[in-house]
Amino acid sequence: MKEDVKVCFYPYEKDVVVKRGENLLRAALEAGVHINASCGGEGHCGKCRVLIKSGEAECRECKKLTPQEIEVGYRQACRTTILSDLEVFIPPESQLDKSALERKKGTQSSGRHISSQILEKLVSGARFNPALWKHFLEIEPPSTQDNTSDLSRLLLLLKRQHNIENVSVDFLVLKKLSQILRQAEWKVTVTLVQTRVESQLGEYQLRGSRRPKLINVEPGNTVDTHYSVVLDIGTTTLWGQLIDLTNGATLAESSEYNPQVSYGDDVITRIVYSQKKGGLKKLQELVVTAINRIINDLLKKSGKDRRFISHLTAAGNTVMTHILLGLNPKYIRESPYTPVANFIPPVRAIRLGVEVEDFVYLYTFPSVASYVGGDIVSGILGSGVYQRKDLTLYIDIGTNGEIVLGNADWLLTASCSAGPAFEGGGVKFGMRATDGAIEGFDIHPTTFEPMILTIGMVKPKGICGSGIISIIAELLEAGVISPNGKFNVELNIPRIRKGSDGFEYVLAWKEETQIEEDITITEADIDNVMRAKAAMFAGCHSLLEKANLKVSDLSQIVIAGAFGDYIDLEKAIIIGLLPELPLEKFLFVGNGSLLGAKLISLSNEMLDDGERIARKMTNVELSEDRSFMEKYIAALFLPHTNAELFSKTIQRMKAFKNASRAGTGGKK
């Protein structure tokens, strides 16, 4: 664990605590300290120069500085690694005037980022008890006196040594059993899985009665090598982890673009494509290909052997799950929007084309409805929401925004087709959260010059979801755009101009980018984001209304999505995506879907809980709800037409605007 270090920025005297090794520009962004920076962090623009007054910092390739400048302590913030507590002086060209500073002081660093390690503790009762396990058996060879079948011999020892009986057997085991027993001189390792035998307690009182099934026999003792692959099948991105089933450790993680993206950005366009001749098969092959690449990468990273993977679990939305399994998603798209099934039996993975041993089954998380999928069930499981007495609002901000409201007693859920804006879709320069995507943004309140930070700190290529939220919030606060999302053209600055899609703000000039054109954010982009955030916000309020509750009744707001790892909470509130609540009530769970998939791999009880959650969730269909539509229209404003809902935010913005005006006046 890296130690914490404190960085103090002058003249603002603003502190931020970061990990040793953090990038200085990033630390400034986190502290709410503006430093001009337009190359995304690659070091080419040279605008982000700062003066290190005390402390240790390493600067690599600060090419825009002379040796003399370096000598006296100047550094390019974007190329500088923090090695100890620092005092940093922001040079005049990057400095904000006092009034702007006031506003900046108001910001807090964003909510609680909680790593998976800690998050697992959110869920109680997750005893380490995987559904799959191994036993090493030294079997007495047959004799004339005792020549029962090879299988009986094995099962009898399993009963005697481990008290495991009533075992069913996968037919494929029989195909190789005799040969392996003899080759291994009767010393073998068996893999067992607990298969479900529901007791008849009705839908809501599922009890985890199980029956062991023998699924594999290996020569020798391999009990210490036993793995599971857990997958999150996102519309845009796939995530996978290799899990050690003997101790629950995560051995490797990997992700891949969902290659189906070429056939449509969202689930609706995927469904449309699936109805073309060969379309479903094509989409299924694409996602399986990506899963295979993820598995290859996991094995490469961990140095493990494919034949010891015994299990796959996957969480995905209903459409992604249907397509992965080759089930026709046609009727998900047609009113009244019915999936084929929400609970899907485990499927032999090689039959889908997944490159694992033939005995490996894929378990997919159950869904709730056409637009409330296994990924949400998985997230509710992983975040422990279903175990809490107090009220949680769970928000998964993705192409298809999904919301859950509830506690240990009840769970309401809804989906609101937010559109792909938060994943970079429907945005002119939108892109996935990979290298070159603008994720951090700050605007100088009087010069309106940007401070941009990209993922990988390279020249910008585009804007990712969290970047878009930051940009719109900053533009709004700085008065560059109005609450209706239109540009304030009166500002008369070169960065605001009329482009092919209406007015736009230039985030980075052509020569500062990787793509040889100006990167801008347009009014059309802002309009798309407003629609997306309005849908999410209206969805949350609709669910609250159904339950006769108010925002103030919420004890906790859980934000999920790989996206949720990077989102700036305060900025999300400013644009009205999230309700105005104290930041400490927000909790990021990152990829809840992947976490849930991992939990069910490691715990039989969690597997039961997952299904229990799916059965318990009540889906609220918003698409044809009038009250939802009204709420949606009311939310098509930044932050909202009803100022009462964002009173503090609006108040602060007003104060800032006045101060800015004053500042501008004072400056000139």
- Provide the binding-site residues for its own copies, judged by CB under 8 A: 142-144, 146-153, 165-166, 168-171, 174-175, 177-179, 182, 196-200, 202, 211, 325-328, 330-331, 335-345, 347, 367, 369-370, 621, 624
| Smallest gap from residue 342 Cβ to its own copies (A) | 5
By beta-carbon proximity to its own copies, the closer residue of 201 and 249 is: 201
Q: How far is the CB of 188 from its own copies (least distance, A)?
A: 14
For its own copies, give the closer residue by CB, 223 or 341.
Answer: 341
Q: Which residue, 67 or 336, has its beta carbon nearer to its own copies?
A: 336
Q: Which is nearer to its own copies, 107 or 619 (CB)?
A: 619
The least CB distance from residue 609 to its own copies, in Å, is: 19
- Among residues 151 and 634, whose Cβ is nearest to its own copies? 151
Closest contact distance (angstroms) between CB of 275 and its own copies is 12
Least distance (Å) between residue 210 CB and its own copies: 10
Residue 645's φ and ψ, nearest 5 degrees, are: -70, -25
Rounded to whole angstroms, how far apart are CA atoms 82 and 440?
18
- Residue at token pair 């857990």: 230
**Residue 227 near residue 309 (C-beta atoms within 8 A):** yes
- What length is written for the chain? 668
Q: How far is the CB of 177 from its own copies (least distance, A)?
A: 6
| Least distance from its own copies to the Cβ atom of residue 328, Å | 6
Cβ within 8 Å of residue 57, ≥6 positions away: 24, 75, 80, 81, 82, 83, 84, 86
Cβ-count burial 198-222 (b if 16+ within 10 Å, e if not):
eeeeeeeebebebebbbbbbbbebb
In angstroms, the first-to-last Cα distance of the chain is 48
Contact 359, 310 (CB under 8 A): yes
DSSP 552: G
Give the nearer residue to its own copies in terms of CB position, either 99 or 342: 342
Backbone angles phi, psi at 364, to 5 degrees: -105, 140
Using DSSP bridges, classify how beta strands 132-138 and 187-196 pair: parallel, antiparallel or unpaired: antiparallel
Q: Are 263 and 269 in contact (CB under 8 A)?
A: yes
Take residue 451 and report the two structure tokens written for it: 């401070």
Please, which residue, 297 or 621, has the CB nearer to its own copies?
Answer: 621
Q: Quote the least distance from Cβ 278 to its own copies, whole Å.
A: 16
C-beta closer to its own copies: residue 161 or 179: 179
Residue 271 beta carbon to its own copies: minimum distance, rounded to whole angstroms: 12
Under 8 Å CB-to-CB from 67, ≥6 apart: which residues? none
Q: At closest approach, how far in Å is the CB of 279 from its own copies?
A: 15
- Give 128 or 343: the residue with its C-beta nearer to its own copies: 343
CB of 378 to its own copies, least distance (A): 18
Q: Which is nearer to its own copies, 340 or 493 (CB)?
A: 340
**What CA–CA distance (Å, rounded) separates 472 from 386?**
34
Q: In the complex with its own copies, which residue's Cβ is closer, 41 or 329?
A: 329
Mark residue 481 as left, alpha or beta (left: phi above 0; alpha: psi -120 to 50; beta: remaining). beta
| DSSP for 277-336, written as a single string | TTHHHHHHHHHHHHHHHHHHHHHHHHT--GGGEEEEEEEE-HHHHHHHHT---HHHHSTT
C-beta of 177 vs 452, nearer to its own copies: 177
Which lies closer to its own copies via its Cβ, residue 178 or residue 651?
178
- CA distances to 156, 217, 624 from 137, rounded to whole Å, are 11, 10, 59
Phi, psi of 59 (to 5 degrees): -115, 120
Q: How far is the CB of 453 from its own copies (least distance, A)?
A: 44
Distance (Å, whole) CA 343 – CA 364: 8
The per-residue DSSP string of 95-159 comes to ---HHHHHHHHH----SEE--HHHHGGGSSS--SB-SEEEEEEEPPPP-SS----HHHHHHHHHH
Closer of 367 and 446 to its own copies (Cβ): 367
Which sign does the torsion angle of CA 503, 507, 512, 517 carry? negative
Element (H, E) at 162: helix 150-162
Burial class (CB in 10 A: 0-12, 13-18, 19+), 639: buried
Burial of 257 (0-12, 13-18, 19+ CB in 10 A): middle
Strands, E assignment, 151-236: 168-169, 187-196, 210-219, 227-233
Q: How many CA atoms lie within 13 A of 377 on its CB side?
A: 35
Residues 6+ apart with CB under 8 A from 333: 268, 271, 272
Q: Indicate the SS3 state at residue 20.
A: coil
The smaller minimum CB distance to its own copies, of residues 376 and 508, is found at 376
* Smallest separation, CB 274 to its own copies (Å): 12
Q: Which residue, 202 or 582, is less far from its own copies as judged by CB? A: 202
Task: Tell me the closest approach of the beta carbon of residue 160 to its own copies, in angstroms.
Answer: 13
Other Cβ atoms closer than 10 A to 374: 31
Least separation in angstroms between residue 547's CB and its own copies is: 19
Reduced to 3 states (helix: H, G, I; strand: E, B; else coil), residue 505 is strand
Q: Nearest approach, Cβ of 143 to its own copies (angstroms)?
A: 5
Q: Tell me which amino acid residue 179 is.
A: Q
Minimal distance, residue 626 CB to its own copies, in Å: 13
